[in-house]
A and B are shown apart, each in its own frame.
Chain A
Amino acid sequence: MTAIESPISRRQLEDVAEEQSPPPVDGKTLTPARRVARIVGYTVLVLAAVALLMPFFWMVMSSLKSANEVFSVPIKWFPETFVWSNYVEIWTESDMLTWIRNTLVLAVVVTFLQVLTGSFAAYGFAKMRFPGRDVLFLVYIGTIAVPWQSYMIPQFILLSNLKVSNTLWAIILIQAFGAFGVFLMKQYYETIPEELSEAARLDGLSEYAIWRRIMLPLSIPALASLTLLTFVNTWNDYLGPLIYLRSPDLWTIQLGLKSFVSNLYDTNYALLFAGLTISVIPIAVIFLLGQRFFIEGIATSGMKG
Chain B
Amino acid sequence: MTSLVADDVAAASPPPASPRRRRSRLRLRSTLIGWSFILPNFLGFALLTLVPVVTLFYMSFTNWNVFGKADWIGLANFQRLLGDGSFRISVLNTLYYSVMHIPLTIVVSLGLALLLNNKLRGIAFFRTAAFFPYITSIVAIAVVWNLLFSPDYGPINQILRFIGFENPPGWLTSSEWAMPAVVIVSTWRDMGYYMILFLAGLQTVPRELHEAARVDGANVFQRFFNVTLPCLRPTMFFVTVMLTINSFKIFDLILVMTNGGPGQSTLVLSQFIYKKGFEESQFGYASAAAVALFLLCIVVTIVQFFWNKRRSY
Chain A positions near chain B (C-beta within 8 angstroms) = 17, 20-22, 24-25, 45, 48-49, 51-56, 58-59, 62, 71, 74-75, 116-118, 120-121, 123-125, 128-131, 133, 136, 138-147, 149-155, 158-159, 173-174, 176-184, 187-188, 190-191, 207, 211, 221-222, 224-225, 228-229, 232, 236, 269, 272-273, 276, 280, 283-284, 287-288, 291, 294-304
Asked whether, in the complex, the Cβ of B283 is within 8 Å of the Cβ of A153, the reply is yes
Once A177-B49, A273-B137 are accepted as A-B contacts, the answer to whether A54 and B33 lie under 8 Å apart by CB is no
Chain B contact surface mostly: helix
Contacts of A303 in B (CB 8 A): 206
Asked whether, in the complex, the Cβ of B52 is within 8 Å of the Cβ of A151, the reply is yes
Asked whether, in the complex, the Cβ of A147 is within 8 Å of the Cβ of B34, the reply is no
Asked whether, in the complex, the Cβ of A58 is within 8 Å of the Cβ of B48, the reply is no
Asked whether, in the complex, the Cβ of A124 is within 8 Å of the Cβ of B286, the reply is no
Asked whether, in the complex, the Cβ of A232 is within 8 Å of the Cβ of B37, the reply is no
Asked whether, in the complex, the Cβ of B136 is within 8 Å of the Cβ of A117, the reply is no
Contact sample, A vs B, 21 pairs, CB 8 Å cutoff: A116-B40, A121-B40, A124-B35, A130-B34, A131-B27, A141-B301, A142-B294, A142-B297, A147-B273, A149-B273, A151-B52, A181-B41, A183-B238, A184-B197, A225-B199, A273-B140, A280-B135, A294-B199, A295-B119, A297-B202, A304-B209
Contacts of A225 in B (CB 8 A): 196-197, 199-200
**A143–B50 alpha-carbon span in the complex (Å):** 7
Asked whether, in the complex, the Cβ of B135 is within 8 Å of the Cβ of A232, the reply is yes
Asked whether, in the complex, the Cβ of B207 is within 8 Å of the Cβ of A22, the reply is yes
Contacts of B10 in A (CB 8 A): none
Asked whether, in the complex, the Cβ of A150 is within 8 Å of the Cβ of B207, the reply is no
Chain B positions near chain A (C-beta within 8 angstroms) = 27, 30-31, 33-38, 40-45, 47-53, 55-56, 59, 66, 115, 117, 119-120, 124-137, 139-141, 143-145, 147, 153, 188, 192-193, 196-197, 199-204, 206-209, 211, 231, 234-235, 237-238, 241-242, 245, 248-249, 251, 270, 273-274, 277-278, 283, 286-287, 290, 293-294, 297-298, 301-302, 305
**A177–B59 alpha-carbon span in the complex (Å):** 24
Once A146-B53, A184-B197 are accepted as A-B contacts, the answer to whether A173 and B44 lie under 8 Å apart by CB is yes
Asked whether, in the complex, the Cβ of B40 is within 8 Å of the Cβ of A301, the reply is no
Contacts of A188 in B (CB 8 A): 200-201, 204, 234-235
Chain A contact surface mostly: helix
Min Cβ gap B313→A in Å is: 10
**A210–B170 alpha-carbon span in the complex (Å):** 58
Best-buried of A52, A280, A301, A304 by chain B (most CB within 10 Å): A52
**A299–B128 alpha-carbon span in the complex (Å):** 24
**A53–B199 alpha-carbon span in the complex (Å):** 20
> Considering only CB atoms, which chain A residue lies closest to B28 in the complex?
A130
Contacts of B206 in A (CB 8 A): 20, 299-304
Of B196, B249, B302, which contacts A147 at CB under 8 A? B249
Asked whether, in the complex, the Cβ of A71 is within 8 Å of the Cβ of B143, the reply is yes
Once A52-B130, A229-B196 are accepted as A-B contacts, the answer to whether A147 and B38 lie under 8 Å apart by CB is no
> Considering only CB atoms, which chain A residue lies closest to B274 in the complex?
A149
Of A71, A117, A153, A228, which contacts B40 at CB under 8 A? A117
Asked whether, in the complex, the Cβ of A287 is within 8 Å of the Cβ of B128, the reply is yes
Of B36, B139, B153, B294, which contacts A146 at CB under 8 A? B294
Of A177, A191, A287, which contacts B44 at CB under 8 A? A177
> Considering only CB atoms, which chain A residue lies closest to B196 in the complex?
A225
Contacts of B196 in A (CB 8 A): 225, 228-229, 294
Asked whether, in the complex, the Cβ of A20 is within 8 Å of the Cβ of B287, the reply is no
Contacts of A155 in B (CB 8 A): 48-49, 52
**A21–B130 alpha-carbon span in the complex (Å):** 25
Min Cβ gap A245→B in Å is: 16
Once A49-B129, A300-B204, A304-B206 are accepted as A-B contacts, the answer to whether A117 and B41 lie under 8 Å apart by CB is yes
Asked whether, in the complex, the Cβ of A150 is within 8 Å of the Cβ of B290, the reply is yes
